[in-house]
Chain A
Amino acid sequence: GQQLNQSPQSMFIQEGEDVSMNCTSSSIFNTWLWYKQDPGEGPVLLIALYKAGELTSNGRLTAQFGITRKDSFLNISASIPSDVGIYFCAGLPNSGNTPLVFGKGTRLSVIA
C-alpha cells in the first residue's frame, strides 16, 4: 500500500527547545492529520489540515499542509515534559474511499 516517510524516527531534546518533524510521500494526499500517542494509550488528534498551503496552530503546535500536497510538517515550540510520546502523521489518499495512511511515528523524549 501507500507509504508515508516520517522523520526523524526519534528525538531527544532539552526542555524548552523547539521540535520539528515531517512526513513525505510520493503520492498526493487530500488531508493531513497529526496525532500524539501517550504510552499505553490510543492516538489523539492534534491538528487536521485540509488545503494545500494551510498553516494551522493548536497552542504550541503548528502544522502545515505542503504546497505539493505530498508533505506536511509539525512544529512544537518551547517543549515541556508532557510533550513526550509518539507523534504520527496520517494522510488521506486522493484515490477514492480508502483508509488513512500512517507514518511510522516520531518518538519524542524531553529531558528536563
Chain B
Amino acid sequence: DGGITQSPKYLFRKEGQNVTLSCEQNLNHDAMYWYRQDPGQGLRLIYYSQIVNDFQKGDIAEGYSVSREKKESFPLTVTSAQKNPTAFYLCASTDKGGNIQYFGAGTRLSVL
C-alpha cells in the first residue's frame, strides 16, 4: 500500500544522546515535512524539504537536523542540544504543487 511510514512508533532517549527518527514514503512525493506536537500546541514545523538534497528550517529547528539524500526518505535527528525532546513527532509529504499534506502515524519520543 502507498503511504508514509514512520519508525519506530516509540523511542526513548538517554540524556546526551542523539536519536534518529525514520520517515519513508512510497507516494513519489517531492516535499516532506517534520512536525513536533506537544499537548495544546498544535503542530509546529521543524524542517521541510521540497526537493532532494535541499531542506529549510521551520519554526523550531534548533536542536534538530535532517537530511534528504533520497526522494523517499527524510530522517530527523534529535540532537543532544534539544533539551526538551519529549513530544510526538509527525512526518508528512505532498506531491509537487500539491496543497494537501499526508501524514505518517507518528513517533513518540520520551527521555529516560
Contact between chains at A41 and B106 (CB < 8 Å): yes
Q: In this assembly, does A63 line the interface, its C-beta being within 8 Å of a C-beta of chain B?
A: no
Which of A35, A44, A48 lies in contact with B99, CB distance below 8 A?
A: A48
Partner-A contacts on B (CB < 8 A): 4, 6, 33, 40-43, 45, 48, 50, 58-59, 88, 90, 92, 99-106, 108
In the bound assembly, the distance between CA atoms of A9 and B39 in angstroms comes to 12
Q: How many residues of A contact B (CB 8 A)?
A: 25
Contact between chains at A88 and B42 (CB < 8 Å): yes
Q: In this assembly, does A45 line the interface, its C-beta being within 8 Å of a C-beta of chain B?
A: yes
Which of B42, B58, B103 lies in contact with A104, CB distance below 8 A?
A: B42
Q: In this assembly, does A100 line the interface, its C-beta being within 8 Å of a C-beta of chain B?
A: yes
Contact between chains at B42 and A102 (CB < 8 Å): yes
Q: In this assembly, does A42 line the interface, its C-beta being within 8 Å of a C-beta of chain B?
A: yes
Contacts of A9 in B (CB 8 A): 40
Q: In this assembly, does A1 line the interface, its C-beta being within 8 Å of a C-beta of chain B?
A: yes
Nearest chain A CB to B86's CB is how many angstroms away?
15
Closest to A50 in B: B99
In the bound assembly, the distance between CA atoms of A105 and B103 in angstroms comes to 16
